[in-house]
Amino acid sequence: MHIRDGILAPEVCLVAGAISLGAITYSLRRLRFDLEDRAVPLTGMMAAIVFAGQMVNFPLFGLPVSGHLLGGVLAAVMLGPWAGCLAISMVLIVQAVLFSDGGLMSLGANILNMAVVGAWGGYAVYATIRRMLGNGAAATVSAAVIAAWLSVLGAAALFCAEFLCSSRSAGVDPRGVLSLMVLYHSLIGVGEALITGAVLSFVLARRADLVPTPNAPGSVGTIGRFAVTGLMAALAVAAIVAPFKSESPDGLDAAAQNLKFDKLEVERPPLVLDDYAIPVPEPVWWPALPVSLAGIVGTLVVFIAAVVLAGITRRNVVPIRVADGSHGN
Amino acid sequence: MAHSDQPAMELRRLSFRYPNGRLALEEITCAVPQGDRVAIVGPSGAGKSTLLMHLNGLLPSPSLSKDEEAQVVIEGQAVTRSRLQQIRRQVGFLFQDPDDQLFCPTVQEDVAFGPLNLGLNRAEVLVRVERGLAAVGMADCLTRNPSELSTGERKRVCLAGILACDPSILVLDEPTSNLDPRARRQLLHILREFAGTLIVATHDLDFVIDLCSRVLVLESGKVQADGPTERVLSDPLIMDRHGLEVPWRLRR
Amino acid sequence: MAHSDQPAMELRRLSFRYPNGRLALEEITCAVPQGDRVAIVGPSGAGKSTLLMHLNGLLPSPSLSKDEEAQVVIEGQAVTRSRLQQIRRQVGFLFQDPDDQLFCPTVQEDVAFGPLNLGLNRAEVLVRVERGLAAVGMADCLTRNPSELSTGERKRVCLAGILACDPSILVLDEPTSNLDPRARRQLLHILREFAGTLIVATHDLDFVIDLCSRVLVLESGKVQADGPTERVLSDPLIMDRHGLEVPWRLRR
Amino acid sequence: MGTSGIGSDAGSQSICHALPAGMKLLLTLGIILVAGLIPLEHWPAQGLLLALVFVGLSVAGVTMRYLVRRLALFLPLLLVFGLSVPMARSNDAAWSWTLSLWLRCTVSFMAGLWLVHVLPFRDLLTTLRYWHFPPALIAMLGFMYRYTFILWDELRRLRNARAARDFGGGPWWRVWSINSQVIGLLLLRAMERAERTHRAMLARGWDGSIRFLDGKD
Ligand SMILES: Nc1ncnc2c1ncn2[C@@H]1O[C@H](COP(=O)(O)OP(=O)(O)OP(=O)(O)O)[C@@H](O)[C@H]1O
Ligand SMILES: Nc1ncnc2c1ncn2[C@@H]1O[C@H](COP(=O)(O)OP(=O)(O)OP(=O)(O)O)[C@@H](O)[C@H]1O
Ligand SMILES: [Mg+2]
Ligand SMILES: [Mg+2]
């Protein structure tokens, strides 16, 4: 998922960088913690954990891609959206500067796609769903699972947008790019959702006090939350439905042909997605149905995972009383 | 700064409950005069570590934010959130588990951590690091990674880290565990030379006899006995009741 | 299974070098007969923990993969990769640092971990857990989280976890550190009752006198002395040279 | 790529290492920016840049083996991409476009590698502080650095602890469920350890700012 330099146009990087900078500044402002606060080391540790987690790539059912944890939702659920966003940003900064994993110039875009969409967007979805389902452990896990999956799709969609803005050719069919990305990322998202859900149910069962309730001060306003949730959900639906729509006379095949042979070649590379996904051209050739099926299967798996993991958690949770000592340090 | 007529450490009805509901300390009241060497003994789970951590404001006690009802007073100053920095400079704290204390990638950096935070300049810090490590016999381990040391070696590095801060009050939690007899003797020697106030929680009663003049017996978060070392430790009644044993040297 | 004429544990020119290049053990050769109780003493960093971990195949020694040149032999069987699981059933290993050993979310699960992996049924496992925890006096902590216990309590839970596996050889690394005197006495009692072979690394020489019949002195990865407890421990020359001290009880 | 990359090059020294850390960062960023801004048609300029970066890498003492190993992770992908265009329509324009793409991405990547090689973590922190980055962010970065080692340490312990008592027994689902718990366990233990370590730092007078013994300030 890490975009390398040379793929996005400098002006796109600039805009994305500016937005990310704003997001980080805003996060820092919202947190307003003492440096001595416990939140600082916990954020650092979360960053270290996500960093380690991202080194492990999971294979994707025979597809020529593998995904890795993004961690945005996990971090946001455990630390809140602001610290969560910071944690993931830090991971990306370190990866770019000290491991040359993801470009320096595309750092802003990477932060936008993974930290901001992951933590803020993911958290908005999570908080909204949790609002609806209640405060139980089961609700927490299912909300996080769904949010994790959507956050991956969101990141992918945003990448598409950035990429399309970068390739100056007007004629690229966004639906072609989108359907390819959806195929990959609805599946990568399943991995993300499973890991997030499993880890969270574990933590909830052992130390529920480490997972704050979304109503704590510092969460997003209700309206904003619903807006973002709606947006992300619409995105998922659009992504899944997109290939169907493109079966108009010129069709997906035509779009794909255009995409591959006519439009992109003179301008920008086609999808040099990242270092993990090897976007072989075939999927674009596939008829619409399998592409959408992948999206639908992904959705189904995520919902089933949400229910199952939530069920496991419900059985395990030991209520933890909170008494005098718990006033945050 | 500190007047010598003020106790170095004073506890006023100190209570503490862990977030999981366990009451670890219950209304502890006591005072330690400047320069005294006091041992805190008691069975596992008595609350010794919990008590010591309060001297440094390391546990989130509600009293930290209330200036008037201070439960812990160090050299005349209530331990409150705003004074924590100041107080932590005065009080050197050795954790029971060395792994909790060591977090830098090299021994040198770890020992230097405290002095650097005191705002000393680089040369001074290096001198202190060297002195601290030499005192515990680990001068040749400067560049090693603490997680690749043996447990006893790690314990010694922790000690060096505390000594390098030059505190006026030393609070040691189980300093002799995992130390070999020679290192233990060296430690005894260092602590005897130390001019400030000393508060030690330990199960090593021989060490207490050699070092401390006063013993506090703690059990279930309450002070059960308090008195001169020899008298408390040679009293079979007290010792037996609180999971201890009269040491060989005091048996008649 | 094991013939009583075979030594319980045999080391054949055992050497070990840590990945960072430090030679921790150098050509150690010795044998411990069945049912013996042997203490390993020596200064910090002598290599005691490293040696003990070899008995359980916990360190990545090259000899683990070579069947013929086995350097560690347990009850007549060379410790090789393919036999590790078998051998770990026979050998119960207590880590020096309880945090290295405890990893389950509750005390009960942690103590049950070994027995469950032995393939026992649930009822039997529960009986063993209860027995193990009762033996160390922690029967009322079943549902607590090990990371919320005091250090001494954690140490005791570790012991319960080992005892619950009912091994034929007990390998204990510094079992008395952080234990209070009463728990230490209980441990002494448990170990005296234990019928199998016992190998203990410790700095607590009094404990050695009370428990073991034979002492190995280790320093810089080599065996420096080996003999009956009283003789080795009361020899001021040996003791002084290797960072130890003649215990009070043996002084004349 | 393990944590070994972080701060591993403390020993090596070269002119590149001696540059001020801020300069290293700006230089790298500049090169990447230029590589990105040069139009695709002007591939000779890209080639020049590549040569420059290559010289930088060799001055910094990067071994050929290391370079090849890192490039091997990155190049195949680029090859596939670049080749898809000339294969579809082979004319000179397509080829020069491909070449240019290759060069651009390789320049950026190698510039990144150079930075990785010459910039120790603590220098990054001190530079960021010098540039008046928010102290909270720097503190978090510092924690992340420290905790990465602690995390590894915890993982090692967790594995050892299990090995000593898992006897390979139990039905397959038990083994499987134990394995799946590891990530959660690691996270919990790491968080708890983070809290304790934080306490230890506070006890030794830490006030929120990261100080290094040999950092430049
Ligand atoms: N983090 C924690 N959360 C909840 N309870 C705790 C925690 N730490 C300790 N306790 C409990 O508080 C009590 C006092 O613990 P403490 O660590 O102070 O004992 P201690 O006297 O230091 O024992 P030891 O000699 O074994 O070190 C114990 O009953 C322990 O189980
Ligand atoms: N993980 C490791 N990597 C490298 N060297 C190590 C590691 N662990 C221990 N050592 C070194 O190996 C030597 C032996 O260590 P070991 O832990 O066996 O000592 P020990 O006798 O158990 O000491 P203690 O009494 O302090 O527990 C020491 O010099 C130590 O510094
Ligand atoms: Mg304690
Ligand atoms: Mg040891």
What is the SS3 string spanning chain C?
Answer: CCCCCCEEEEEEEEEEECCCCCEEEEEEEEEEECCCEEEEECCCCCCHHHHHHHHCCCCCCHHHHCCCCCCEEECCEECCHHHHHHHHHHEEEECCCHHHHCCCCCHHHHHHHHHHHCCCCHHHHHHHHHHHHHHCCCHHHCCCCHHHCCHHHHHHHHHHHHHCCCCCEEEEECCCCCCCHHHHHHHHHHHHHCCCEEEEECCCHHHHHHHCCEEEEEECCEEEEEEEHHHHHCCHHHHHHCCCCCCHHHCC
Q: What was the pLDDT predicted at C148?
A: 87
Per-residue buried b or exposed e for B85-107, using 16+ beta carbons within 10 Å of the residue's own CB? bebbbbbbbbbbbbbbbbbbbbb
Environment class of residue A123 by beta-carbon count within 10 Å: exposed (0-12), middle (13-18) or buried (19+)? buried
Against chain A, the chains showing at least 3 CB pairs within 8 Å are B, C, D
Rounded Cα gap, residues D120 and A97, in angstroms: 10
* Backbone dihedral region for residue D7 (phi beyond 0: left; psi -120 to 50: alpha; all else: beta): left
A210 touching D (Cβ < 8 Å): yes
- When pLDDT is cut at 50, 70 and 90, the band that residue A279 belongs to is very low
Amino acid at site D181: Q
D193 in the same domain as D110: no
Establish if D116 belongs to a structural domain: yes
The atom of ligand 1 lying closest to the CA of B46 is 21
For residue C95, report the distance from its CA to the centre of ligand 4, in Å: 9
Q: What is the pLDDT of residues C111-128, one digit of tens each?
A: 998 888 888 888 999 999
Most confident of A178-182, A184-188, C100-104, C215-219: C215-219
What atom of ligand 1 comes closest to residue C153's alpha carbon?
26
Please state, as a whole number, how many other Cβ atoms lie within 10 Å of the Cβ of residue C172.
24
Residues 25-44 of D with CB under 8 A from B: none
Cβ D167–C85 below 8 Å, yes or no?
A: yes
Q: Which of D157, D170, D189 sits opposite C117 (nearest CB)?
A: D170
pLDDT greater at residue B53 or residue A320: B53
Over range D139-149, report the average pLDDT.
83
Interface of A with C in 182-211 (CB under 8 A): 205-207
Q: In what order do the strands lie in the sheet with C37-41?
A: C91-94, C169-173, C197-201, C37-41, C214-219, C222-228
Interchain contact, B43 vs C182, CB within 8 Å: yes
Of all residues in chain A, the one with the smallest CA distance to D138 is: A90
Least confident of A243-252, A295-304, D37-46: A243-252
Determine, yes or no, domain membership for D144: yes
Rounded mean pLDDT, B5-24: 88
ipTM: 0.77
pLDDT at residue B161 is higher than 60: yes
**What is the arithmetic mean of pLDDT over A13-35?**
84
What's the gap in Å between C229 CA and the centre of ligand 4? 20
Tell which one of B150, B159, B187 to mutate to probe ligand 2, the residue whose CB is within 8 A of the most ligand atoms: B150
Q: Which residues of A touch B84 (CB under 8 A)?
A: 36
| pLDDT value, residue C215 | 95
Check CB contact of B222 with chain D, cutoff 8 Å. no
Residues D121 and D35 placed together within one structural domain of the fold: yes
A100 in Cβ contact with D112 (< 8 Å): yes
Q: Can you list the alpha helix ranges (DSSP code H) found in chain D?
A: 15-18, 21-37, 43-59, 64-88, 92-118, 121-130, 135-166, 172-203
Where in the sequence is the domain holding D26, given as residue range(s)?
15-127
Q: Which amino acid is at D104?
A: R
Evaluate if residue B185 carries a pLDDT over 80.
Answer: yes
Average pLDDT value for residue range C143-155:
89
- Closest residue by Cα to atom 19, ligand 2, is C45
Q: What does the domain layout of chain C look like in residue ranges?
A: 9-97+170-245
Residue A155 to residues A52, A120, A152, C150, D156: CA-CA distances in angstroms?
Answer: 20, 12, 5, 45, 33
- Quick one: pLDDT at residue D169? 60
Residues 6+ apart with CB under 8 A from C48: C40, C41, C42, C173, C201, C218
Residue nearest to atom 11 of ligand 1 (CA): C149
Q: Are D67 and D103 contained in the same domain?
A: yes
What integer pLDDT is reported at residue B230 of this predicted model?
A: 92
Q: Are A199 and D195 a contacting pair at CB < 8 A? A: no
Pairing mode of beta strands B214-219, B37-41: parallel
- Give the per-residue pLDDT at B19: 80
Q: Is C243 in the pocket of ligand 2 (CB under 6 A)?
A: no
By alpha-carbon position, which residue is closest to atom 29 of ligand 1? B45
DSSP D179: H
What span, in angstroms and rounded, lies between the C-alpha atoms of B73 and B235? 31
C21 lines ligand 2 (CB under 6 A): no
Instruction: Please name the residue of chain A whose CA is at the shortest distance from the CA of residue B54.
Output: A325
Q: In the structure encoding, which two tokens stand for residue C101, read together? A: 């050993």
Which pair of tokens denotes residue B234? 């040679």
C-to-D residue pairs, Cβ atoms closer than 8 angstroms: 52
Residues of chain A positioned with their CB less than 8 A from the CB of D137: 24, 28, 86, 90
Mean pLDDT over each residue of chain D, to the nearest integer: 75
| Residue C221: band (very low, low, confident or very high) from pLDDT cuts 50, 70, 90 | very high
Single residue among D127, D158, D184 that ends a domain in this structure: D127
Q: Is the pLDDT of residue A33 over 70?
A: no
What does the alpha-carbon distance between residue C183 and residue D30 come to, in Å, rounded to a whole number? 66
Question: Does residue D12 surpass a pLDDT of 60?
Answer: no
Residue among D200, D207, D213 minimizing CB distance to B103: D200
Listing from the earlier edge strand, what are the strands of the sheet with B214-219?
B91-94, B169-173, B197-201, B37-41, B214-219, B222-228
Q: Which of C 134-153 lie inside 8 A of A, CB atoms?
A: 143, 145
Q: Is the pLDDT of residue D10 over 60?
A: no
**More reliable by pLDDT, B27 or D36:** B27
Mean pLDDT score, A13-25: 90
Ligand 2 centre from C75 Cα, in Å? 26
- Stronger pLDDT, A180 or A246, i.e. the higher one: A180
Taking only the tens place, the pLDDT of each residue in A58-95 is 655 555 555 677 889 999 998 888 889 999 998 898 88
Distance CA C98, CA A205 (A): 23
Examine the domain organization and report whether D123 and D166 are in the same domain. Answer: no
pLDDT in tens, A103-158: 788 889 999 999 998 898 898 888 888 878 877 888 888 899 989 988 988 888 88
Q: Residue D167: pLDDT above 80?
A: no
Nearest neighbour of D167 by CB, restricted to C58, C88, C99: C88
Does residue D210 have a pLDDT over 80? no
Q: Would you call B142 an interface residue with chain D, using a CB distance cutoff of 8 Å? A: no
B128: tokens are 């202190």
Euclidean distance between CA atoms A94 and D54, whole angstroms: 23
Helix (H) or strand (E) holding A257: helix A251-257
The pair of structure tokens assigned to A287 is 């008829």
Residue D159 at interface with chain C, using a CB cutoff of 8 Å: no
Number of domains in chain D: 2
Paired residues of C214 in beta bridges: C38, C228
Please tell me the predicted confidence (pLDDT) of residue A198.
Answer: 85
User: Which of B118, B66, B71 minimizes the C-alpha distance to B90?
Assistant: B118
CA distance D87 to D103: 18
What pLDDT sits at residue A224?
Answer: 64
Neighbours of ion ligand 4 (CB under 5 A): B 150-151; C 49, 96
Question: What pLDDT score does B129 carry?
Answer: 94
Ligand nearest to the CA of C202: 2
Residue in B100, B102, B109 nearest the CB of D213: B109
Torsion angle, alpha carbons of D99, D105, D107, D109, to 10: -150
When CB atoms are compared, the residue of D160, D167, D185 closest to C118 is D167
CA A214, CA C204: separation in Å to the nearest integer?
A: 52
Q: What's the pLDDT at A311?
A: 61
Q: Do B100 and D153 touch (CB under 8 A)?
A: no
Q: Are strands B169-173 and B91-94 parallel, antiparallel or unpaired?
A: parallel
CA of C203 to the centre of ligand 2 (A): 15
| Residue of B16, B22, B199, B216 best suited for mutating to test ligand 1, as the one with most atoms within 8 Å of CB | B22
Q: Is the distance from CB of B28 to CB of B13 less than 8 angstroms? A: yes
Residue D69 is assigned to a structural domain of this protein: yes
pLDDT bin (cut points 50, 70, 90) of residue C59 is confident
| Residue D112 and residue D147 share a domain | no
pLDDT > 70? residue A44 = yes
Higher pLDDT, C60 or A272: C60
Across the range B78-93, mean pLDDT stands at 88
C-alpha of residue B45 to centroid of ligand 3, in Å: 7
Residue A326: its pLDDT value, please? 32
pTM here is: 0.79
* DSSP element (H, E) containing A302: helix A288-316
Q: What is the pLDDT of residues D14-47, one digit of tens each?
A: 777 777 878 888 888 888 888 877 776 677 787 8
Q: Which residues contact D103 (CB under 8 A, 6 or more apart)?
A: D35, D43, D46, D47, D49, D50
Which ligand is in closest contact with the Cα of B59?
1
Contact list, D135 vs chain A (CB under 8 Å): 35
Pocket of ligand 1 (CB under 6 A): B 18, 20, 22, 24, 42, 44-50, 96; C 148-153, 178, 180
Partner-chain contact A207 C143, CB within 8 Å: no
Which residues in B lie closer than 8 A to residue C160 (C-beta atoms)? none
Here the tokens at position D64 are: 């050929």
Query: Per the structure block, which two tokens stand in for B133?
Result: 């490590």
Q: Give counts: helices (H), strands (E), chain B.
A: 10, 10
- The DSSP output letter for B163 is H
Angle of helix A10-31 versus helix A81-99 axis, rounded to 10: 130
Contacts of C105 in chain A (CB under 8 A): 205-206
- Residue B192, amino acid: R
- What percent of chain D has a predicted confidence (pLDDT) above 90? 0
Topology classification of domain B9-97+170-245: Rossmann fold (3.40.50)
pLDDT band at A260 (very low <50, low <70, confident <90, very high): very low
Q: Is residue D93 part of a domain?
A: yes
Task: Please indicate if any CB of chain D lies within 8 Å of the CB of C118.
Answer: yes
Bigger pLDDT: A260 vs A22: A22
- Ligand 4 centre distance from Cα of residue D17 (Å): 39
Ligand found nearest the CA of D195: 1
Order of strands, edge to edge, in the sheet holding B23-33?
B23-33, B7-17, B72-74, B77-78
Q: Is the pLDDT of residue B106 over 60?
A: yes
- Does the structure show a pLDDT above 60 at C81? yes
Which tokens in the block code for residue A305? 């995972």
The ligand with the least distance to the CA atom of C152 is 1
Q: Do C118 and D169 touch (CB under 8 A)?
A: yes
Q: Whose Cα sits closest to atom 7 in ligand 1? A: C148
- Bridge partners (DSSP) of residue A165 are none
Please list every residue in chain C whose beta carbon sits closer than 8 Å to the beta carbon of residue A318.
143
Task: Give the model's pLDDT for residue D16.
Answer: 73
pLDDT at position C200 is 96
Residues of chain D positioned with their CB less than 8 A from the CB of B53? 199
Ligand 1 atom nearest to CA at B218:
21
Query: Which pLDDT value is given to residue B20?
Result: 81
A105–D33: do the CB atoms touch at under 8 Å? yes
Distances (CA, A) of D86 to A44, C33, D94, D95: 47, 76, 5, 6
- The pair phi, psi for residue B228, each rounded to 5°, is -60, 145
- The rounded distance, in Å, linking the Cα atoms of A54 and A241 is 30
The residue out of D72, D105, D127 marking a domain boundary is D127
Residues A48-64 have pLDDT tens digits of 888 887 776 665 555 55
Structural domains of chain A, ranges and CATH numbers in brackets: 10-265+293-315 (1.10.1760.20)
Question: Which residues touch A129 (CB under 8 Å, ≥6 apart)?
Answer: A139, A142, A143, A146, A147, A229
Distance from D182 to chain C by nearest Cα, in Å? 9
**How confident is the prediction for chain C on average, in pLDDT?**
89
